[in-house]
Amino acid sequence: MTGALLTLRDLSWTPALGGSGVRPFTLKKINMRIEPGEFVGVIGPNGGGKTSLLRCAMRYSKPQGGRVGLTGYDLWAQSARWSAQRIAVVGQEFPSEFGLSVREVVAMGRIPHQGGFQSESSTDRLMINAALEAMGIVHLQHHEFGLLSGGEKQRTLLARAVVQDPELLILDEPTNHLDPKHQVELLTHVKRLGIAVVSSLHDLNLAAAFCDRIYVMKDGQIAAEGRPWDVLTADTLFETYGAEAIVDAHPQTGTPRITWKFV
């Protein structure tokens, strides 16, 4: 029995056969563990398998091989509701949520914790208000979700994930669409929640500053794993992205600072 919160053991996954009959991609023998309270990043090139991996960990894609364990339980032996009571997700694509207000979208995060016909409790309301406040979207709560800007949608979806009160938060490029101030604010807020987080990130300076550990995904495999200073080296970055970087220390945080060279 492991003390880890999330454990992926020898996980493999292949998409269903496409029209051409070719299997273009597989996740191969992925091993990963996330401890309670850890902030773990997944980085790597486009198409490397980050989203595919996160989908297996969130009980969306069923792996053909290996095991996903959450607090020692086999995730795929549990119900979707069991999973939703423990794992919250902010995905790479926006859901459409036609016609719903921002507040209604955030309130959806409480559904896994409510009985069938139960309406919003006072605790639910307090949690929803706090999340709207924390994400700076109180003034938007009665606006239609579908009409928001990309960054406002992203903050609404994070608020929904927070009210779900999860043990594990899975984020797929959460800073996409956000301006610099909101990028930093969102990750600072997530970090302060103190829960386990696994997040794909393309901005390596943010990964360096916020992640306790980082996995590098390339060609469906984990190519490297470790603390930011172990992983974000010029050599590993070149092997991963084929791009040259200068790595020095961030003047404020002392975490790695990556500057891409122009060819």
Ligand X SMILES: Nc1ncnc2c1ncn2[C@@H]1O[C@H](COP(=O)(O)OP(=O)(O)OP(=O)(O)O)[C@@H](O)[C@H]1O
- Which of 20/46 has CB closer to Mg ion? 46
- Which of 97/172 has CB closer to ligand X? 172
User: Residue 116 and residue 20: Cα distance in Å, rounded?
Assistant: 43
The one of Mg ion, ligand X, none whose footprint includes residue 18, by CB under 5 to 8 A per kind, is ligand X
- Which of 46/79 has CB closer to ligand X? 46
Residues ≥6 apart with Cβ < 8 Å to 51: 92, 172, 200
Q: Which amino acid is at 125?
A: R
Q: Minimum Å distance from CB 228 to ligand X?
A: 19
User: Residue 214 and residue 248: Cα distance in Å, rounded?
Assistant: 18
Q: Minimum Å distance from CB 8 to Mg ion?
A: 17
Beta bridge mates, 42: 200, 215
Q: Is 212 exposed, middle or buried (0-12, 13-18, 19+ CB in 10 A)?
A: middle
Site track for ligand X across 41-80, x = CB under 6 A: ---x-xxxxxxx----------------------------
Question: Is 151 among the residues that bind ligand X (CB under 6 A)?
Answer: no
Tell me the site size for ligand X, rule CB under 6 A. 13
Residues ≥6 apart with Cβ < 8 Å to 255: 208, 209, 228, 229, 249
Would you tell me which residues interact with ligand X (CB under 6 A)?
15, 18, 24-25, 44, 46-52, 92
